[in-house]
Amino acid sequence: MSNTISRRRFLSGAAATVAAPMIVHASVLGRGGATAPSERITAAGIGIHGRGFDDLRSLIRHDDVQVLAICDIWKQQRHAVKDFVDDHYGNKDCAMYRDIREFLAERTDIDAVLIATGDHWHAQASVRAMQAGKDVFTEKPSSMTIAEGQAVVNAAKRYGRVYQTGTQRLSEANHVFAIEMARTGRLGQVHTAYAHIAPWDAAKMPNDWKPTEEQPPTDEVDWDIWLGPCPWRPFNMSYVRGGWRGCYDFHTSCIGEWGAHTFAQAQAGLNAGDTSPVKYQYVENDSGDGMVCTFANGQKMVLSRGDKYWHGSCGERFDGDLGWAAAADGYSAPDVSSPKLLAEYKKVVGEYVARTGRSLDHMRNFLDCVKSREQTVANPSVMHRSMSTVHAANICMWLGRDLRYDPVAEAFINDDEANRLRSRAQREPWVI
């Protein structure tokens, strides 16, 4: 049989092909309310455990997102996330990676990443992802040191990336109301904010090691990558399972555990999202409870453990000369000094949405900004300034003395010992 085809036969075949109807699913074209593939945000997860699954559920439920891959050092978790994603989409397409370097180098098709690793990897993974051209949603706390926060801010700016940290209460109506009541002057002159710190662990954290266990094969658990920038220590599986909390190398103490949320909330209400306090008053306890942090304009933020100013967790409160307002988890409505302050609840929240154009859905705000390239509510600057407050408060407790801080120079004043604690040595090759 001849391998050639006549011009007449080619044209007649082509005409038949053009005439034949093409059956294309409506979702491909974006019909029926579906989002066309060209309009979808391609996403992946890095280190999805525990709380990270809540974030993943929040991400994957949006029709304009397609989750394509998971990167995790723990084989068990890679498969757990893949099964979850594949079950959601009804396919077997979610790819798995163990090494973040391989993942970022290979997956140039990924627009955005969700980072929910252990705390010591949040800034490391964020900077590497932004260098690779990815937008970033990362769990809190978003930095382990002031220097790491600076690295995140610089990477977002240099590479033009959208970044959101998981301080989701900045996008919840009750917290927005309390913040806006303070910010807009409805409480009068606000002189004091209170920020909740976690009721477990201490500010001073031990740096001892857990007992050595037999290290599994790298494909099962990549211990070297799990440690990342932290000093080498013997393998113990409880670290991988979440037992790193309360350890100096891996955690930001009871102050950072909730302060990563509540300091951003308090500073937003004080219109101090672009700065940090200049004075930190040492307190004689193991947690920082009662520490007074004073801003350059004289406003104070008080660290508080327990339920003195709210019921529930991760609360903030603002005291002004015309009243006070507070919010925390589990509230049906904010707490206020007078019921009449709640009369404008819908108006206050509505005005915030109208002014900012932001969704009261933290993940949706991130996705909207991925498309618009606008700043998120918990953008790099908001993250870094509130986390600088966390780190400065920790350093105050570690050194056991009052500190003065220059938020412009981002340095402690006349205190070389405190300034050395603004950063930590990073283990090669995990240097950002």
Establish if 428 belongs to a structural domain: no
> Are residues 411 and 270 part of one domain?
yes
Q: Is 287 found in the same domain as 142?
A: no
Q: How many CB atoms lie within 10 A of CB 267?
A: 27
Tokens of 74: 């723990």
179 & 78 share domain = no
pLDDT tens profile 7-55: 344 334 444 433 333 343 444 444 455 666 668 999 999 999 999 999 9
Interatomic CA distance for residues 332 and 363, integer angstroms: 22
In a domain, 351, yes or no: yes
Domain contains 103: yes
Q: What is the CATH number for 261?
A: 3.30.360.10
What is the span of the domain harbouring residue 283? 169-203+251-420
CATH number of the domain encompassing residue 91: 3.40.50.720
Q: Which pLDDT score, from 0 to 100, does residue 39 have? A: 85
Domain stop point among 168, 190, 219: 168
Joined tokens for residue 115: 């980072």
Residue 208 within any structural domain of the chain? no
Indicate whether 317 belongs to any domain: yes
**DSSP string covering 41-96, please?**
EEEEEES--HHHHHHHHHHHTSTTEEEEEEE-SBHHHHHHHHHHHHHHHTSS--EE
Residues 47 and 117 in one domain: yes
Q: Quick one: 271 and 411 in the same domain?
A: yes
Distance between CA atoms of residues 71 and 48, nearest Å: 8
pTM of the model: 0.91
pLDDT, position 409: 98
Question: Do residue 158 and residue 191 come from a single domain?
Answer: no
pLDDT digit string, tens, across residues 287-342? 999 999 999 999 999 999 999 999 999 999 999 999 999 999 999 999 999 999 99
Claim to verify: residue 116 and residue 177 sit in the same structural domain = no
pLDDT of residue 17: 39
How many domains, in total, are found in the chain? 2
146, 110: one domain: yes
Can you give the pLDDT at residue 14? 41
Q: How many whole angstroms separate alpha carbon 322 and alpha carbon 187?
A: 5
Domain annotation covers residue 332? yes
**DSSP secondary-structure letter at 142?**
-
| Identity of the residue numbered 225 | I
Please give the pLDDT value at position 34: 60
- What is 259-278 written as a DSSP string? HHHHHHHHHHHTT-TT---S
361 by Cβ neighbours in 10 Å (0-12 / 13-18 / 19+) ranks as middle
Q: Where are the alpha helices (DSSP H) in 240-379?
A: 253-269, 345-356, 362-372
Ranges of the chain whose pLDDT falls below 50: 1-31
Spatial neighbors of 47 by CB under 8 A, at least 6 apart, are 71, 72, 73, 77, 115, 116, 117, 118, 121, 125
Residue pair 136/112 in contact (Cβ under 8 Å)? The answer is yes
Query: Cβ contacts of residue 426 below 8 Å, gap of 6+?
Result: 229, 432
Phi, psi of 339 (to 5 degrees): -55, -30
3-class secondary-structure state, position 325: strand
| pLDDT at res. 36 | 67
Verify cis geometry, omega within 30 degrees of 0, for the bond prior to 334: no
Q: What is the DSSP letter of 231?
A: P
Query: Bridge-partner residues for 301, per DSSP?
Result: 193, 293
